[in-house]
Amino acid sequence: MIKHLFSAALLVASSSAMATIVEFQTSQGSFQVNLFDQTTPKTVENFMKYVNADRYQDVIFHRLEPNFVLQGGGFFYEGSIPLSQVESFGNVDNEPVYSNVRGTIAMAKMEGNANSASSQWFFNLKDNSANLDVQNGGFTVFGQVIGDGMDIVDKIAKLERCGSIPLVDYSQEKCADVQVNPDESNFITINAVTIIDDSENTADNLEPKKNTLLKPTNPDSGNGNSNSDSSSGSLFSLLMLLGAGLFIRRKR
């Protein structure tokens, strides 16, 4: 498979488009997301660079924490393990305008570095505002799932996991066997992210909740444990997650 072969001129031209509604076409169904390009412009511009360069084509959802987050944008499967990593365009400044409530999409980033988001993002499966609105400078929400799209997200969130990776048709016995790895049919793949509506005012009828919890003197509580809900998985998932380098801590 040939990936990421776009001319520089095309990338610059297309990344400036004010696309506000995109569709995630996944192996479990499609859903749409309205991006807040007017209020989180740097983050949306960064996201659209990856969309327009097809760098989100065939990426997988590589982390699922039930009743917390569903994360992607970092890895894709090219026929073998370990997984391949999405090529980064670099970091983007944090824009913690909105709250991490259920149905929103936000950027993942390095622990202890508020401005370290690059390609990875996550969907909030519940209201995570008390935690993620203040953790690490606040996690930047830059869009929300619209229509009945959360039906698809919730469907994925109910799948079995190997480690923290959601998979289909993959038993816990296989997961525990270090000699057995999943193949393309097992991963939850994003086949493409496409522009549906590039109007600038598509978010006018939305009322996203503002982040009112973040204080300049309290960018990160510094407490809380890393999530330990994940079951023990095979070597492939443990190594992949260790290499992810992006942390979203779940507080109890």
pLDDT at 190: 98
HSE-CB for 100 with a 13 A CA cutoff: 30
Sequence-distant (6+) residues with CB within 8 A of 225 are 249, 250, 251, 252
Which tens digit of pLDDT belongs to each residue from 123-134? 999 999 999 999
Residue type, 33: V
First-to-last C-alpha distance (Å) of the chain: 42
pLDDT at 47: 97
Cα torsion 7, 22, 142, 148 to 10°: value is -160
The alpha helices in the chain, defined as continuous H runs, are 8-15, 41-52, 129-132, 150-157, 172-176, 235-244
Tokens of 3: 């990936």
CA gap 49, 109 in Å, rounded: 17
Give mean pLDDT, residues 203-211.
90
Mean of per-residue pLDDT scores for the chain: 84
pLDDT band at 199 (very low <50, low <70, confident <90, very high): confident
C-beta separation of 138 from 94 below 8 A: yes
C-beta separation of 80 from 130 below 8 A: no
Residue 61 has pLDDT above 80, yes or no: yes
Helix pair angle (41-52, 8-15), 10° resolution: 140
Neighbours of 18 (CB within 10 A): 16
User: Checking phi first, is residue 137 left (phi over 0); if not, alpha (psi -120 to 50) or beta?
Assistant: left
